Amino acid sequence: MASKPRVKVPKNAAAGEVITIKTLINHNMESGQRKDKDGNPIPRMIINKFTAEFNGQPVFSADMHGAISANPYMEFTAKVNESGTFKFTWVDDDGAIFTAESEITVG
Amino acid sequence: MKMNRRDALTFAAGAAASVLAISSGSRAFANAEEIDKKLMELAGGGMPETAKVMLNTPEIAENGNTVPVSVSVDSTMADGDMVESITLYADGNPNPDVVTFHFTAMSGSAVANTRMRLAKTQNVIAVAKMADGSTYMDKKQVKVTIGGCGG
């Protein structure tokens, strides 16, 4: 159900700089509050966890509930001291995992 | 302002939403109590101090399905001044939990932006937990024209 993770990380940064990262993934984030035509509740199906790592070290994470909008958007910061790779992970209620990576050059 | 068909429909839906908001007032109260309980638990008894946390929401959200929200805590993110997490609650949603952001020293700053759903006009509450266990909060009311809970 989810698709096309999109991330925006600057290509270059100075050592010790605090950069802004923007991420978005296509997902309809079914909240579990809606009902179908026959009045039966539609089960919850959302991305419940987002994490960002830099060279294997945790940078930022978010535990999400049904009140996060469809196509969940996250904007946060990271302090970079060296060149490396950001890895982003989204976890779906059904256990599916989506990832994206982005490299940054420092110096 | 010229009123076309779309505007007229939007207005009608808004009026209907406000009627709904009044009729479900008691439920929001129960949620507010539940949130107060969670805040006290986080703060270890008593309420978190209203300071340090900056919660930014629009004053009026036309569409409750995507309400931009940004939260930040005044912190150097160095040892002794670390923000561990920020949690957002909405006291008028069917489920008051919204999101919890977790920060590390590598976050560089305690800032996060996202988009949330609001079922109706209500308060959004942000509570920050520092690494030393202290807690701070901020609260903003958002007026919602069209609710964001399907239905």
CB contact under 8 A, B148 and A69: yes
**Nearest-neighbour CA in chain A from B57: distance (Å):** 14
Q: Which of A86, A88, A80 is nearest to A106 (CA)?
A: A80
Residue B59 lies in a domain: yes
Give residue limits of the domains in chain A: 6-106
**Nearest-neighbour CA in chain A from B1: distance (Å):** 31
CB contact under 8 A, B114 and A62: yes
Q: The complex's ipTM?
A: 0.94
Beta strand B135-146 with B60-63 is: parallel
**Nearest-neighbour CA in chain B from A63: distance (Å):** 5
Q: What is the pLDDT of residue B31?
A: 85
CB contact under 8 A, A77 and B108: yes
**What is the distance, to the nearest Å, from the Cα of residue B72 to the centroid of all Cα atoms in its chain?**
13
Count of the separate structural domains present in chain B: 1
Q: Which of B109, B116, B148 sits opposite A77 (nearest CB)?
A: B109
Is residue A76 within 8 A of residue A60, CB to CB? The reply is: yes
CB contact under 8 A, A79 and B108: yes
Is residue B76 within 8 A of residue B113, CB to CB? The reply is: no
pLDDT of A4-58, one tens digit each?
Answer: 899 999 999 999 999 999 999 999 999 988 999 998 999 999 999 999 999 999 9
pLDDT of B91-113, one tens digit each?
Answer: 999 999 999 999 999 999 999 99
Q: Provide the CATH topology of domain A6-106.
A: Immunoglobulin-like (2.60.40)
Provide the residue range defining the domain that includes B92.
Answer: 29-144
